[in-house]
Chain A
Amino acid sequence: MTVVVCLKWVHDAAQPDDVRFGAMSPADHSALELALQCGEWAHADVTAITVGPAQADHILRDALACGVRRAVRIETSHAVSGADVAAAIAAVVADAHWVWCGDYSIDNGSGSVPAFLAAALAARQALGVIHLSFGDAPTIDAGVIEATRRLDGGRREVLEVRAPAVVSVEGATAHLRRAGLTALRTAAAAAIEVIRIATPTRVDDCVVQQYRPRARELAGPDGVSALARVLSLTGAGGARGAASARRTVVLDPLDAAGRILTELREWGYRT
């Protein structure tokens, strides 16, 4: 039974050597805490794994200080895509039962690695989880974790997850424990396993682009003339209709409150 947590070293691209500006994402903190809880629950050691350069060691040391048993850093020969990262991790932890990830990293992460990883491991996936409860103490391989996912429109999905599975969690799902002093001192000197893999340069995967949010389709404004369309967009000149007309009324407080609620409902702020 193995528990794995995948961590990403997020840094300032302009100053990769300056450790002051490199750290884990909040979601990775959350994943690390849950991996440790999972390890306690399943009576298993936890392995922390990252793909990155030597400067990334310090987040692995943070993980070791918090209670992870083994720390592995995969060093690639080239910049790699999310799918390659997942493949590299899967090759190292092929026998993992529970794999914990942050749902996305703060450097414009797309959250794709956990999904690729689940595919590469042929494991179940529970992505973007915001709440977890660990089931009864499991026998080997038989534990069940109840995971709540966030869906669109404020809806929730509750999953029963069994090993092997990849679970990615949001930053607020769990609060990372504080490392003990002795553990912190030990971790500072601990050995980090480094695995070097040669990755083919795939030009299409290595193009560095500015981050651009995806385009969304928006309905155009109503109106025949350009002026009318601008007015309807900006609401200038009372284009939003009678609701924006100014009215002054004098009422006693109870009626005034009722009136405000009515108006808000008419304007569509309340249902």
Chain B
Amino acid sequence: MSDSVDVIVVGAGPAGSCAAIVAARAGLSVVLLERGPFAGSKNMYGGVIYARMLDELIPKWWEQAPIQRWVTRRSTMLLTDTQALTVDFRTDAWGEAPYNGATAYRPDFDNWLAGHAEAAGAQLLTSTTVTGLLRDSAGSNRTGAIVGVRTDRPAGDLRARGVIACDGVNSLLAKEAGLYEHTDAKHFTLGVKETLALPKEVIDERFGVRDREGVDIEIIGGTGMINGGGFVYTNLDTVAVGVVLKLSKLAAQSLRPEQVIAGLKANHAIAPLIEGGEVKEYSAHLIPEAGLEMMPKMTANGMLVAGDAAALCLAAGIWLEGVNFAIASGMYAGETAVDAIRAGDVSARGLAGYQKRMRTTFVLKDHRKLRRAPALVLSDRVQHLYPAMVANVAERMFRVDNPQPKPGLRRIFAQERKRAGVRRRDLIRDAWTGFRSYG
């Protein structure tokens, strides 16, 4: 067996598997390296998988993908200790092909996707951790072209014409390649999730769904003094409940993340949904949440970066996405590697098509458009002042306080704004930022 291949893909998550599928189908020899004992074993996700990008790679993927439920009911909830205001949307359209979003267990989903990479001809090697990059001997250790990777196995060097780093958040390879100018804890959030087992009929009844229909509730507020958000979503016979917490605030509060989840679970708006559920799993993962602000350079001489490793995670309040960006960036990285290897130029210049592919598609267009959204959603005002203010307005609006006559909505709003301590100009500024991002 030769110790050199065309492409090494590091990490068998959605980005890595899609990159491997594309490169292997183009006839290149591909090795897909995964540190866990099987693809997906190290992965967790507290959200919804939007996999329409797979249409190109795996026609009718929805007929075979191991998904739990198709999200047909999508709620956004503003939560305070005693109030909840929910915008709840449901549509039958998302419950039939080609569907919209799905909940899935990542060890199932990623393993299935890696199976397609193997079927395409990529060689998947598990329990193998990449520990560093191999550089061209002509250059220095810092600047030479990347010509392979070093793994933790004996005689573990493997050379390749191109490396695609899909090694997830906090990418050691992207950092070693010098693609991140700086990293800052404030760019990350910690996602923490409990998976609670409940009988399927109970979940169907509590969430008002049937068969494979599922619910996704995204929550602003409910995380105490720590900026972040919460989520509840349904699997077939489990409910995932969790929080996403800004690292710096979590550290400052010296709270354990499970305490924050416990607080959310005890909230009267959430408790009845999950009552009696047995905790099956507790998991936590870093999320690169700052969007465009933290993104690294995505090409180096001989290497491309995709997925979470390139901070391609969209956390914009009403849109919370990641797997779709991983799939797309993995595909584009695979296509770019194929083109570059065929053209015989895998330098950063030869790989420049990758950036272009991403700039001209949703991958970077969405991030550019929503570049101010992550900071806005995690700002102190949106987190700590607005939920209570809006909930109080709703409470007074719907309260029938006879014999008092109904107050005008404008007056309630002005009073509640003052009571919450929100300055008018801050409100206008935030509204303008939101309008520019979401409008």
Which A residues are CB-close (under 8 A) to B125? 181, 184-185, 188
Which B residues are CB-close (under 8 A) to A186? 1
1/0 contact string of A167-204 vs chain B (CB within 8 Å): 00000000001111110111011000000000000000
Could you tell me the distance between the alpha carbons of A180 and B107 in the complex, rounded to whole angstroms?
A: 26
CB-based contact B1/A182 at 8 Å: yes
CB-based contact B1/A180 at 8 Å: no
Known: A20-B38, A188-B123. A180 touches B31 (CB 8 A): no
Interface residue? A158 (CB, 8 A): no
CB-based contact A185/B1 at 8 Å: yes
Size band of the interface chain B makes with A: 10 to 19
Beta-carbon contacts under 8 Å, B34-49 to A: 37-38, 41
Specify which of A19, A20, A181, A188 is in contact with B153 (CB 8 Å cutoff). Answer: A181
Interface residue? B120 (CB, 8 A): no
* Chain A minimum-CB-distance residue to B126: A184
**Chain B interface, >50% SS class:** loop
Specify which of B3, B107, B157 is in contact with A20 (CB 8 Å cutoff). Answer: B107
CB-based contact B38/A182 at 8 Å: no
Which A residues are CB-close (under 8 A) to B152? 178
1/0 contact string of B128-168 vs chain A (CB within 8 Å): 10000000000000000000000111111110000000000
Which B residues are CB-close (under 8 A) to A180? 153-156
Could you tell me the distance between the alpha carbons of A189 and B31 in the complex, rounded to whole angstroms?
A: 13
Specify which of B38, B41, B158 is in contact with A181 (CB 8 Å cutoff). Answer: B158
Interface residue? B336 (CB, 8 A): no
Known: A20-B107, A20-B111, A186-B1. A181 touches B123 (CB 8 A): no
CB-based contact B38/A179 at 8 Å: no
Could you tell me the distance between the alpha carbons of A186 and B125 in the complex, rounded to whole angstroms?
A: 11
CB-based contact B111/A181 at 8 Å: no
CB-based contact A182/B128 at 8 Å: no
Specify which of A20, A177, A181, A188 is in contact with B156 (CB 8 Å cutoff). Answer: A181
Which B residues are CB-close (under 8 A) to A185? 1, 31, 123, 125
Could you tell me the distance between the alpha carbons of A186 and B1 in the complex, rounded to whole angstroms?
A: 6
Could you tell me the distance between the alpha carbons of A181 and B155 in the complex, rounded to whole angstroms?
A: 6
Could you tell me the distance between the alpha carbons of A17 and B420 in the complex, rounded to whole angstroms?
A: 58
Could you tell me the distance between the alpha carbons of A140 and B3 in the complex, rounded to whole angstroms?
A: 36
Could you tell me the distance between the alpha carbons of A20 and B154 in the complex, rounded to whole angstroms?
A: 24
* Chain B minimum-CB-distance residue to A185: B1
Which B residues are CB-close (under 8 A) to A179? 153-154
Could you tell me the distance between the alpha carbons of A178 and B38 in the complex, rounded to whole angstroms?
A: 16
1/0 contact string of B155-190 vs chain A (CB within 8 Å): 111100000000000000000000000000000000
Which B residues are CB-close (under 8 A) to A19? 38
Query: 17 other contacts beyond A184-B153, A185-B123, with CB at 8 A cut-off?
Result: A19-B38, A20-B38, A20-B41, A20-B107, A178-B153, A178-B154, A179-B153, A181-B128, A181-B154, A181-B156, A181-B157, A182-B1, A184-B128, A185-B31, A185-B125, A186-B1, A188-B125
Closest 10 CB pairs of A and B: A180-B155, A180-B154, A181-B153, A181-B156, A186-B1, A20-B38, A185-B1, A180-B153, A181-B151, A182-B1
Sample 7 A-B pairs with CB under 8 A, ordered by A number: A19-B38, A20-B38, A181-B125, A181-B128, A181-B155, A184-B125, A188-B125
